[in-house]
Structure 1
Amino acid sequence: MAASPVAEVLAVYAGRAKDTVTAARGAAKVRDSLNRAKAAAAGRKAAQKTARRTPRSA
């Protein structure tokens, strides 16, 4: 049974050898997820900035 990527990242603390391939894949997934979240937040921030800047008609 293949261990989860998170389990492999934490394997060092559990005192067992880690599967570096699985750990690297897990780290890559985390990085990808983080980058997507940052991009989405930047998009929301830009949209809010635009909405505040837009002059309102009476």
Structure 2
Amino acid sequence: MSRDTHPGAQCPHCQSLLALVPVPGNSAATAVPLLPIVQKEEWQPPPVAEVLAVYAGRAKDTVTAARGAAKVRESLNRARANAAQRRAAQKAARHTPRSA
């Protein structure tokens, strides 16, 4: 059985993955084949301040922002209209009298 698939490789409380690593300089560790369990480091995203720092010195382009907002509004209105048409067609199909 692999160490990675061993049931002891996962914390029973928080379900985080654990890894077995040797402790250097410990004479007891060489005599006993069991190794201490330490938690693997999880990836974390960078701080928001670091991400936004790229945009800190930029000036706001109101023309481009307004154009982008208009495109988003137009797209949302188109989607709403399509959804309303689809619902109306489904409702009409459900209420159509059936012939015998």
> How high is the TM-score relative to the length of structure 1?
0.72
List per-residue Cα deviations over 1:2-22 (Å, max 9, x = no partner): xxxxxxxxxxx5322220100
Higher share in strand: 2
1:52 and 2:94 aligned: yes
List gaps (5 residues or longer) in structure 2.
1-51
User: Does 1 or 2 have the higher relative contact order (CA < 8 Å, sep 6+)?
Assistant: 1
Aligned match of 2:66: 24
List per-residue Cα deviations over 1:27-49 (Å, max 9, x = no partner): 00000010011001000000000
For residue 94 of structure 2, give the secondary structure of its aligned residue in structure 1. helix
What percentage of aligned pairs have identical amino acids?
A: 78
* AA at the equivalent of 1:55: P
> How high is the TM-score relative to the length of structure 2?
0.43
1:6-45 alignment, distance < 5 Å = 14-15=55-56, 16-45=58-87
* AA at the equivalent of 1:37: A
For residue 36 of structure 1, give the secondary structure of its aligned residue in structure 2. helix
List gaps (5 residues or longer) in structure 1.
1-12
Measured in 2, the distance between the counterparts of 1:52 and 1:18 equals 51
